[in-house]
Amino acid sequence: MNIEGKTVVITGGAGGLGLSMASALAAKGASIAIIDLDPACIATAIEVLPAAKGYAANISDEEQVERVFESIKQDFGCVDVLINNAGITNDGLMVKQREGVVSKTPLAKFQPVLDVNLTGSFLCAREASALMIDAQSSGLIINISSISRAGNVGQSSYAAAKAGVVAFTSTWCKELAKYNIRVVAIAPGFIKTAMTSKVPAEVLSKIEQTIPLKRLGEPNEIASGVLFAIENDYFNGRVLEIDGGLRL
């Protein structure tokens, strides 16, 4: 797909990896729609990318997602690419014992990570693919997974959700190919973003030592993977791993 003139919807596009993708794709001539939770972050992102349009919504809320995609249809006419990028973490061990006391992770800490990362990706892909099919145009859905899908200490919820979006990828690839819609995943490793900055410094430094390249990735190194996924029409149903060679 030639990105120039195409409409790209990026969830979580107002910051971190999403904003880096938005900037890279806008520079190649794409029209950008950013969906994000926080209107203030969207306003800041639009200052950087004045041609982009921002939509405030909680992607785990079905009605809000339906409303936002209706607005995007009115504003842009169609959607060519959806990047399911919005994600949250809420790390913690499932159970732990300290000084003889066993504590358990509350469901209220676990569930929202599934709601946003997994259910949110489903809802956005459902709406975007319905628009693509209706417009009888080709399309692409890029699901942002993570190296954590292999299982990472303290990330039961996030690892499960990120493994889930890979399962979505192969499922939707098979369901949507007949409409000329490709579905792919990108699995970043540890990238310099607000998300990794929340990891305790000593833990992050140990992780960094296990990365063969001995450094965290840069957001633009994920954005260039997104560009590859868009431009290569035979890349379908697979996971592009961009992690410096790390194995968890």
Min separation Cβ 204 and ligand CAA, Å: 7
Contacts of ligand CAA in 174-233 (CB under 6 A): 188, 190, 195-196, 199-200, 203
Cα(127)–Cα(179) distance, rounded to whole angstroms? 14
If binding is defined by CB under 6 A, does position 240 make contact with ligand CAA?
A: no
Min separation Cβ 161 and ligand CAA, Å: 10
In the complex with ligand CAA, the residue whose CB is nearer, 153 or 177, is 153
One-letter amino acid at 237 equals G
In the complex with ligand CAA, the residue whose CB is nearer, 138 or 210, is 210
If binding is defined by CB under 6 A, does position 117 make contact with ligand CAA?
A: no
If binding is defined by CB under 6 A, does position 48 make contact with ligand CAA?
A: no
Expressed in percent and rounded to 5, the helix, strand and coil fractions of the chain are 50, 20, 30
Among 23, 152, 156, 157, binds ligand CAA (CB under 6 A): 152
Contacts of 55 (CB under 8 A, 6+ apart): 33, 34, 35, 36, 42, 68, 71, 72
Length of the chain, in residues: 248
Q: Binding residues for ligand CAA, how many (CB under 6 A)?
A: 20
Span from 109-117, 118-126, 146-154, 215-223 in contact with ligand CAA (CB under 6 A)? 146-154
Span from 6-14, 77-85, 154-162, 167-175 in contact with ligand CAA (CB under 6 A)? 154-162
Rg (CA), the chain: 18
Among 147, 173, 183, 185, binds ligand CAA (CB under 6 A): 147
Cα(203)–Cα(111) distance, rounded to whole angstroms? 24
Contacts of 208 (CB under 8 A, 6+ apart): 190, 214, 215, 216
In the complex with ligand CAA, the residue whose CB is nearer, 188 or 225, is 188
In the complex with ligand CAA, the residue whose CB is nearer, 33 or 223, is 223
Regarding beta strands 95-98 and 101-104, do their DSSP bridges make them parallel or antiparallel, or are they unpaired? antiparallel
If binding is defined by CB under 6 A, does position 158 make contact with ligand CAA?
A: yes
- Among residues 121, 123, 120, 113, the alpha carbon closest in space to that of 195 is found at 113
If binding is defined by CB under 6 A, does position 93 make contact with ligand CAA?
A: yes
Quick check: 51 and 8 in contact, CB under 8 A? no
Active site residue 179: no
In the complex with ligand CAA, the residue whose CB is nearer, 96 or 215, is 96
Q: Residue 187: enclosing H or E segment and its boundaries?
A: strand 181-188
The residues of the shown chain that bind ligand CAA, judged by CB under 6 A, are 89, 91-93, 96, 146-148, 152-155, 158, 188, 190, 195-196, 199-200, 203
Active-site residue numbers? Answer: 158
